[in-house]
Chain A
Amino acid sequence: METDGAGDQDSLNIIGEFQAQRRVLREKMGGSDRIDALHAAGRSTARERIDALLDPDSFQEIGTFASSPRDPEHTPGDGKICGFGFVDARPVAVVADDATVKRASSSPIGSAKVHRVFAQALRAGRPLVYFGECSGGRLPDILGATGFTQVPPDLLLAQRQRRIPLVTAILGDSFGGSSFVAAVSDVVVQVRGTCLAVTSEHVVAAATGESVSREVLGGVDTTSSITGVTDVVVDTEEDAIRRVSEVLSYLPSNAWTPPPRANGVAAAGHPDELEQLVPRRRNRGYDMREVLRRIVDGGEILELAPFFGRGLITVLARIDGRSVGILASQPFHEAGTLGPASCDKATRMICLCDAFGLPLIFVQDTPGFVVGSKAEHERLLSKAMLMQQALALAKVPKITLIVRKAFGLAYFALGGNDMGTDLVCAWPGAEIGFMDTAVAAAVLGDRANEALEDHTMGRYDTSLLGATSPLRPAQIMKVDEVIAPAETRGVIIRTLEGFDALPFSSGADRPLAAWPVRW
């Protein structure tokens, strides 16, 4: 076969030039000055963030050569860096907003890149990670009807139905596009000092005259405790990226795959400490996280939305190497009651775990649903029933443990008997009943002659306490078993092992997978 030496040389030149051009595009991004400014502020570029997340040399980029037809020279990559790679040797798709190009604003080509990655992530069943700091819609590009209609919200996100995990980290101020992605993500991590909102304070001031700071609009105090959009607050980008990896480690790559199984390790402390951690004095608060740490592998818990609906904690953890989701009363806050916010938090957790095959464990020490005008006005009734519907539809294994109080509808809402729970167990000191005995005594006491009230309260108190023993429902098979605190971890492990004979049920068969992520 004849070779054409000149042709080879041309071809080498073409490839060499191409490689040089590509290197410049990827290294210079929106300009060295802008990269330097990011670094000076202690921040990283989109590509550096992707490299920090992914296994070494695993990034396979798409859309390197995309740019805006309006201004190709100044829009390398058009504000979005996209592609695929591996985290802990598992495939993921990743999108990172590039603040050096038009402040990562939303444009037709940038949006097309993101859409392409979403589609391929869904098709290949790999989790999607989004590093968000979009400044909003790009003006004037999308101001008019022609541009505007080319940047619709991505339908694929709304149609995801939790077939793949979607985890967003907000690493800079986020308005529009990246905020929309965050709000439909399974888990949102936000760096302190950033803003996660629909619009910026400038738009707010122009539209309504309201003068408001970014911090108030969407700083971490707002998003983690008022709106509940942010699940994990961190101090640095590095922390955020580590947290994203950690979240992914608990979840399967997609809804058709079981969650990853790690090697089981012992819980923190000694099982006998469990009994001491829950105060015998029934009105004394304590930190439920310390109880959970003595049940889960290595005492490690990843708490989601810790500042939102604080009477209930929702955590990801492992028990004997299995990923589980735990919903536990937190007597340290809000008396461990269920309120409007904690109901929403619970519903989100139930949907997440059910969609991705994580068993649900409920740990109860609750005096009941919060009562009062504030809770009623904040739609407690609707939210409580939404939570109950989610629980009723959840198909993953469910275990309920009552460590102290289980009163009122909250007992059933948190996986009480006849709620489809696979095992309801209680510690011997637990109390189960319609309402706290002390409240009951006060309510019933109102009917009695005031002069007799003290005597009456004493009488009701005594008789009601005996009536709330978990041995009563255990006798009539409403509580499956009463167990010693130190036996808890073993009982959970054996109950979960009991499900190993079942074929894994795909998330596509689980209705909660299609429930909204936030509402």
Chain B
Amino acid sequence: MIEIKSEMAATVCSIHVTPGDAVRSGDTLIILESMKMEIPVQSTTDGTVAAVLVEHGETVANGSILVVLRD
């Protein structure tokens, strides 16, 4: 299991994957917004989306787990 975390406090702007989706390293999973900037959160590996732990509009802290992937 690979946890994809937020690198800063932010708001979830859009979610691009749902559980079961196959993703490749570098695919955009979620777009966060912070400091009036969109921050694409990319997959760090090839795998499958096991869980999406956030919702659109939700506020996340630095280090919050956003998506869980499995190989």
Contacts and interface: CB of A to CB of B under 8 A. Distances in A.
Contacts of A370: 8, 35
Interface size class of B (residues with CB under 8 A): 10 to 19
Contact of A285 (B8, B9, B38, B62): B38
Contacts of A310: 7
Interface string A280-303: 001111000000000000000000
A30 to B, nearest CB: 39
B37 interface: yes
B40 interface: yes
Contacts, number: 46
A97 interface: no
Interface of B: 7-9, 33-40, 62
Interface residues of A, number: 22
Contacts of B7: 310, 333-334
A285 B40 CA distance: 7
A224 interface: no
Contacts of B40: 285, 332
A374 B37 contact: no
A201 interface: no
Instruction: Give the one of B8, B34, B37, B62 with max A CB within 10 A.
Output: B37
A335 B9 contact: no
B39 A374 contact: no
Interface in A430-486: 436, 438-439
B52 to A, nearest CB: 21
Given A372-B9, A374-B62, A336 B36 contact: no
Describe A's contact surface by its main secondary structure.
Answer: loop
Contacts of B35: 335-337, 367-368, 370-371, 436, 439
A495 B28 CA distance: 39
B8 to A, nearest CB: 5
A331 interface: yes
Contact of B39 (A282, A334, A368): A334
A240 B9 CA distance: 35
A345 to B, nearest CB: 15
A285 B36 contact: no
Contacts of B33: 283
B8 A283 contact: no
